Structure 1
Amino acid sequence: MSNLKESDYALLKNFLCSKSRTAQTILRIIAAVFGGYALTASMLAALALLLPWPKVDALFFTALLPALIYPAALLWIFAAPTAQRAWRDLLTAILLCGVLALIAAVVR
C-alpha cells in the first residue's frame, strides 16, 4: 500500500491548488521538464507513424523536430495564465498525440 497519509494528500492538494507564485513556478518547471519531454515524445511517435513517407525518411524528418517542439512546449507552459491551465493543456495534447500514434500503429 501507499505510505502517504491522509494529511499528506491534503498538503499535496493545497500545494497544487495554491495561488502563490512559488508554487505556480515549481508546478510550471515540473510541467516544462517532464511534460515537455512527454509531449515531444508522443508527438514524434505520432508523426513517425502518420507520415506517408518511407520509414527512413519519416524517421530522419522527425529526428529534426525535437529542437522545435520542446522549446515551443516550454514557451506554451510559461505563457499559460495558471500552472493548472498549463498542466491541463499539456496533458490534453499528450493524450491526443498518444491516441493518434496508437491509432496509426493499429491501422498500419
Structure 2
Amino acid sequence: MSSASSPSAPADVLDPFLAAAEAAARARPDVEVDLAREVMAEAASMLHDSLALDDLDPRDRDVVVHALAEDLASEDPGAAVRARETALAGGDPTLHDPERARGTYLVVLSVLQL
C-alpha cells in the first residue's frame, strides 16, 4: 500500500491492527513502526474488502478482529492464526458462534495467503 492511499477498513477493524503494529514495534527493535502500520493497514483493508469478517455477529467480530491483530503482528502470523483456528475445534464459550469464527480464521489464512 502506498502512503498516498488510505485504508478501506473501518475504524473498528483498522484501529486494533494499527495498535498491534505499534505494540510489535515497541516490543521488537527489528520492527519499524511506520512499515508495521502500513502492512497492518493493508491486511485490515484486505480482510474488510474480501468480506472475510462479514459472517460474524458484532461481538464475535470484535473478538476475532482483536485476535487477528495480535496474531498478524506476531513473528509467525500464519502459525498464530492456524493455532487459533485449531483451538476453536472444541468450541469456545466466549464466542456466540465458534464454528463460524473458526471458518473465518480459515478464510483469513487464504485471503492473506498465510
Is TM (by shorter chain) over 0.5?
A: no
| Higher relative helix content | 1
Greater gyration radius: 1
TM-score by length of 1: 0.39
TM-score by length of 2: 0.37
Q: Higher RCO, 1 or 2 (CA under 8 Å, sep at least 6)? A: 1
